[in-house]
Amino acid sequence: MRAQLERGAQELGLELDDSQITQLLAYLDLIQKWNKVYNLTAVRDPAEMLTHHLLDSLAVIHPLLRHTGAKPVQLLDVGSGAGLPGVVIAICRPEIRVDCVDTVAKKAAFIQQAAVTLKLPNLRGLHARVENLTGPYDVVCSRAFASLADFVTWSTGALAEEGVWMAMKGKRPDDEAAELPSSVEMFHVEQLQVPGLDAERCIVWMKRRAA
């Protein structure tokens, strides 16, 4: 598992140190332990979890850095579930303060446990509805969470004035993009290549439309 994770990170152009690789694998172990009691994720096979969860989330690190310029920013992961991609971002980028919000209490509790177990002071789990959060967050992200229109509508109060939405999707969601409110502009769709995953992946970048 470790060798596969290291290879995948290299293919994605990421320079992760030994402690970060160890943290990522410990995070995977933590999901597996909690999955026995709580249904955090439908994927149960460890090898599949590595590609579908860890590497899939690691694929967004470079695109995210291009937008943040490696500056300290606040990121909100909406409908975070087991913490994907939020926990992975927190492990790889200590300068990013990550809040993972979920309406399910046990999932928010899992994030809090992950923050303690993995010693991540930049990670926090929030049990709340995203509509009730005010932020401001520089980046609001989601992974297979809801339609683009619902995602931006529910989280608009949390986004900083100059912030961006980062939605992780499978195929390019042109139908969903057509339903976006007029106040929101989709300014880039970025195709992703996830090592070991034979499936389409992309990031949809959005921001508030200039008045």
Q: Residues 8-30: pLDDT tens digits?
A: 999 999 999 999 999 999 999 99
Q: Residues 71-86: pLDDT tens digits?
A: 999 999 999 889 999 9
Query: What CA dihedral angle connects 70, 52, 164 and 99, to 10 degrees?
Result: -70
CATH homologous superfamily for 2-208?
Answer: Vaccinia Virus protein VP39 (3.40.50.150)
Q: Residues 39-98: pLDDT tens digits?
A: 777 777 878 889 988 999 999 999 999 999 989 999 999 998 899 999 999 999 999 999
Are the C-beta atoms of 171 and 141 separated by less than 8 Å?
no
d(CA 37, CA 85): 22
Q: Residues 170-199: pLDDT tens digits?
A: 999 999 999 999 999 999 999 999 999 999
Secondary structure string (H, E, C) spanning the chain: CHHHHHHHHHHCCCCCCHHHHHHHHHHHHHHHHHHCCCCCCCCCCHHHHHHHHHHHHHCCHHHHHHHHCCCCEEEEEECCCCCCCHHHHHHHCCCEEEEEEECCHHHHHHHHHHHHHCCCCCEEEEECCHHHCCCCEEEEEEECCCCHHHHHHHHCCCEEEEEEEEEEECCCCHHHHHCCCCCEEEEEEEEECCCCCCCCEEEEEEEECCC
Pairing outcome for strands 123-127 and 184-192:
unpaired
Ramachandran category for residue 185: left, alpha or beta (phi over 0 → left; psi -120 to 50 → alpha): beta
Task: Please check the confidence at residue 36 and state whether its pLDDT lies above 90.
Answer: no
